[in-house]
Structure 1
Amino acid sequence: MLALLVVDAAVSAVVELFFLPLRFDGALLPDLGGVPFPATAVLAAVGTPLLVRTAARLAPRLPVAGAPLAAWLATVLVFGFFGPGGDAVLVGDWRALLLLAGGALPAAVVLGGEMGRAQQAAAQRAADHDAARRPGVGTRTGA
C-alpha cells in the first residue's frame, strides 16, 4: 500500500507540473486573454496532504508517513528542472512557488500533526502501562 501511495505522489507531481502552465487562452479553457490558471497547485494542496495522512495511518513512523511527501517533492524538483529531453518543465514565475508551497506546506503540516498524535498516543499507552503495573497507584483506599 505504501508503494502505491508513493507512486501516486510521483504521478500526481508529474501531472501537476505538466498542467501548471495552463492558461485561459481559448485552446483548452475559455478565452480570457491568456490569464494563468494554476489549478494544479490547488490539486497539490489537497492531494499531497491526503497521501501523507493515509501513509501515516498505515504506520505512524516518520519514514513511512513522509514517503509520499518526499516522493512528490523529489519528482517536482527532478522533473521540474531536468524534465524529459533536458527541458525545464517548472515555469519560472509565481506559479512554481504556488505549486511548491501548495503541495509541500500543507503536507508538512499534516505530517507534523500525525507524528505528534502518534507520539502522544505512545506516551499515553506508556503511562497506562506503567499505571497498570503499579498496584494501588491512582486508586483511593477507603477512608
Structure 2
Amino acid sequence: MVEAFVLAVLELFYLPLRLDGTLLPKVADYQFPVTILLAVVTTPLLVVLASRYADGALAAAAPLLVWFGTLLYFGLFGPTGSTVLLGDWRTLLLFAGGALPGAMALGAFLGRAARAGDH
C-alpha cells in the first residue's frame, strides 16, 4: 500500500511533463505524460502482488483503493491546499490508465477465488 501511495503521488506530480528541454529533451514542446504508462503497468502489478498474499478481496483491492484515494486527495487538495489535477485529457487518462487495468487484475483474482470456492 505504501508503494501504491508513492506511485500515485509521483504519477500525479509528474503528469504535466513536456518535451520542452527543461527536464526532458526538446521536441516541439509536446506533452509527454509518461506517468500514465507507469500507472498502466504498476497498478495492476501491485494488485496481483497483493492478491498473492491476500486473505480476501479487500486486501487484494487495497493497493487499487490507496492509489485511487491518493490521486483524489492530492489532486483536489494538493500539498499547498491547491488543486493539482489538470483540467484536460491527461488527468482522465491517468485515472483510466491505472484504475481499469487494476480493476481487471482484481476481477481476475475474484474470479479465481470464486472458482476455487465452487470446487
Q: 1:42 aligns with which of 29, 37, 46?
A: 37
1:60 shift after superposition: 4.8
Who wins on radius of gyration, i.e. which is larger?
A: 1
> Matches of residues 9-48 of structure 1 in structure 2 within 5 Å?
9-48=4-43
- Once the two structures are superposed, residues 8-52 of structure 1 have per-residue CA deviations (whole angstroms, 9 ceiling, x without a partner) of 101100000010000000101111121110010010010000000
Instruction: Please give the alpha-carbon distance, in whole angstroms, between the structure 1 residues aligned to 2:113 and 2:95.
Output: 27
Give the partner amino acid of 1:53. Answer: V
Whether contact under 8 Å (1:24, 1:34) holds in the other structure is yes
Alignment partner of 1:66: what SS?
Answer: helix
Taking structure 2 as the reference length, what is the TM-score of the superposition?
A: 0.97
Select between 85-94 and 47-56 the one with higher mean Cα deviation.
85-94
Taking structure 1 as the reference length, what is the TM-score of the superposition?
A: 0.81
Select between 60-69 and 104-113 the one with higher mean Cα deviation.
60-69
1:90 shift after superposition: 1.3
Whether contact under 8 Å (1:60, 1:115) holds in the other structure is no
Alignment partner of 1:119: what SS?
Answer: helix
Alignment partner of 1:32: what SS?
Answer: strand
CA RMSD of aligned residues (A): 0.8
- Once the two structures are superposed, residues 94-128 of structure 1 have per-residue CA deviations (whole angstroms, 9 ceiling, x without a partner) of 0000100000000001100111001101212xxxx
Identity %: 55
Q: 1:66 aligns with which of 41, 61, 69?
A: 61
Give the partner amino acid of 2:75. Answer: G
Question: Aligned pair count?
Answer: 119
> Greater RCO between the two (CA within 8 Å, min separation 6)?
2
Gaps spanning 5+ residues in structure 2: where? none
Q: 2:72 aligns with which of 55, 60, 77?
A: 77
Q: Which runs of 4+ in 1 moved over 4 A?
A: none
